[in-house]
Each structure stands twice: as structure tokens, then as C-alpha cells.
């Protein structure tokens, strides 16, 4: 029996996605790790592409605490942007490098079952539950399709859409979606590609980067506003991944693609989160 290959799950998004040259370099570095004997899975969102697609068809987006409210009409175009534009272009790029990529969403093979998300919104000291439309949370994950693809040497590329038990589609936050899958696959490393080198104690001071962090320290860092804005769902997704079975989570700079290839040569890349 051959030893099971170590699995790396990459959450891919942000500027590393909108710049074509950078996208190629990122994917090339990820594919290089596959050639070194790792199994790789890529999970992606695509906020900028959703924004562009909705603008093209004149659908206004309403945001509540940074979360996009998704109407049934908007949901059609969200799926079009994520599965058509983003997923399709990642597959073409990887296939052109000589690898075999397969595009999925959480809907395929019932890999991920969604549930409707209600958002707690606090205004003037009062907290109320806000309906965000077709915005979902993760109910459950079934990794059998992903594992089947990995065993047959494919690279699964998964976007953050899933249906609930009644077949209603939901848009799920890409970071949280990725964290659940990384946990369910017991990933050796769950690696979030972002636009910064890692988590900074002081966001304006690059030398204040935190190299290692325990899950237990995250709440304190939220309280002192070290973790805020878009870093909150990223950190929450690391906690989900680690609690559900991933060995280690890491936040690195996707706009410096060479950081990906040195992940195993130089352990000091990015911010490492462990339980």
C-alpha cells in the first residue's frame, strides 16, 4: 500500500485572481507542488467578477455589514460569474500547463449541502436578524467526489456555491466554504492566498507580522482590532478547518507567487495557525 499523499488545499481569491499574468504564476506554482507529489485542491470565490457581472446586467448590490444580499435574480448571475468566468478560466489555464483540472461547485455530487444564513445586524444598540436572500452557510460536506478525482490524478477546482436539501442555490462566503472542505479532507495544510504577507499586529507595519498563532489567541486579536474587515472570515475559516481535521492553516501573499513554491523549503512563509 502506497503512503497517502499529503493534501494541500488553496483558497484562491483577491488581486492574485484579477491580474492575468499573476494568475498564471500562482497556478504554475500550485501545479509545481503537485509535481512534487502533493495532492492539490483549489477553492475560489470571485467577488470582483460577481461585481462586474451584476453591473453589466444592471443589478444593484445591497451590502449589509460587508455581505452582499443575493436575490434569486442576482443568484443566477453570481453562478454565471463563478462557474462560467472564474472557474472556466482557471481550468483552461491549468489544462494548458499539462495538468487535468476539473471544475466543480458544492452542488456537484452533493459535495456540500447549504443552509440559509441569517445575519445578525446591530444598529443603535439593537440586534436584529437580517435576511440576506440566497446567502448560505455550510450544513455538511461529502468529500467522496473530490477524493475520487484526486485518486485519478485530477486537480479539483471548486467554487463556493451549493444547494440546500430542497435544491435552492446559495452563495457561500469563499473563505468559510474553503475552511469546511479543508477540514473534511483532513488537509495537511489549508493555505489562504491573500493580498498581504500574513497577519500584522499593526497593519501599517510590515515588520509586525505574526509568524505563528494558536486558535486560542484569535479572539483576543479580534478584540484589539488586529483582526478586522476581510481578515475576520479568513481567520474564522482557519478555525473551522483546524477544528474539523486540517493539520495546519496558513495565510500567505498570493501576489508573491514564489511564496507558494517555497512553502516546504522555508517554513517561515506567512502566518501559521495551529490548534
Please name the residue that has the C-alpha cell 483532513.
186
What is the predicted pLDDT for the residue at 1?
A: 45
Q: Among 249, 271, 255, which Cα is nearest to 10's? A: 249
Q: Among 258, 110, 267, 87, which Cα is nearest to 174's? A: 87
Q: Among 234, 116, 115, 101, which Cα is nearest to 158's? A: 101
Q: Domains of the chain by range and CATH?
A: 7-274 (3.40.1160.10)
pLDDT digits (tens, 9 = 90+) for 55-113: 999 998 888 877 788 999 999 999 999 999 999 999 999 999 999 999 999 999 999 99
- What value, to the nearest 5°, has the Cα angle with vertex 44 and ends 265 and 255? 50
Tell me the torsion sign for CA atoms 107, 29, 34, 102: positive
| Whether the Cβ atoms of residue 174 and residue 43 lie closer than 8 Å to each other | yes
* Residues in the chain where the model's pLDDT stays below 70: 1-3, 266-267
Q: What are phi and psi of 212, to 5 degrees?
A: -140, 145
Amino acid at each position: 500500500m502506497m503512503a497517502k499523499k499529503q493534501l494541500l488545499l488553496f483558497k484562491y481569491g483577491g488581486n492574485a485572481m484579477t491580474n492575468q499574468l499573476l494568475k498564471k504564476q500562482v497556478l504554475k506554482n500550485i501545479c509545481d507542488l503537485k509535481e512534487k507529489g502533493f495532492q492539490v485542491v483549489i477553492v475560489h470565490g470571485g467577488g470582483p467578477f460577481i461585481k462586474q457581472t451584476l453591473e453589466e446586467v444592471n443589478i444593484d448590490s445591497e451590502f449589509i455589514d460587508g455581505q452582499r444580499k443575493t436575490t434569486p435574480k442576482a443568484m443566477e448571475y453570481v453562478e454565471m460569474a463563478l462557474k462560467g468566468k472564474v472557474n472556466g478560466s482557471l481550468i483552461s489555464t491549468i489544462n494548458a500547463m499539462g495538468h487535468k483540472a476539473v471544475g466543480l461547485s458544492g452542488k456537484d455530487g452533493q459535495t456540500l449541502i447549504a443552509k440559509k444564513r441569517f445575519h445578525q445586524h446591530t444598529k443603535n444598540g439593537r440586534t436584529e436578524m437580517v435576511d440576506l436572500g440566497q446567502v448560505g452557510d455550510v450544513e455538511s460536506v461529502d468529500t467522496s467526489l473530490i477524493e475520487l478525482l484526486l485518486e485519478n490524478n485530477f486537480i479539483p477546482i471548486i467554487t463556493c456555491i451549493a444547494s440546500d436539501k430542497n435544491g435552492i442555490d446559495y452563495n457561500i462566503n469563499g473563505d468559510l466554504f474553503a475552511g469546511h472542505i479543508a477540514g473534511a479532507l483532513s488537509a495537511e495544510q489549508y493555505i489562504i492566498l491573500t493580498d498581504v504577507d500574513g497577519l500584522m499586529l499593526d497593519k501599517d507595519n510590515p515588520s509586525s507580522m505574526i509568524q505563528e498563532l494558536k486558535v486560542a489567541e484569535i479572539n483576543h486579536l479580534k478584540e484589539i482590532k488586529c483582526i478586522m474587515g476581510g481578515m475576520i472570515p479568513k481567520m474564522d475559516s482557519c478555525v473551522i478547518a483546524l477544528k474539523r481535521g486540517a493539520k495546519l492553516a496558513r495565510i500567505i501573499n498570493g501576489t508573491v507567487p514564489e511564496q507558494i513554491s517555497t512553502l516546504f523549503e522555508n517554513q517561515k512563509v506567512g502566518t501559521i495557525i495551529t490548534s
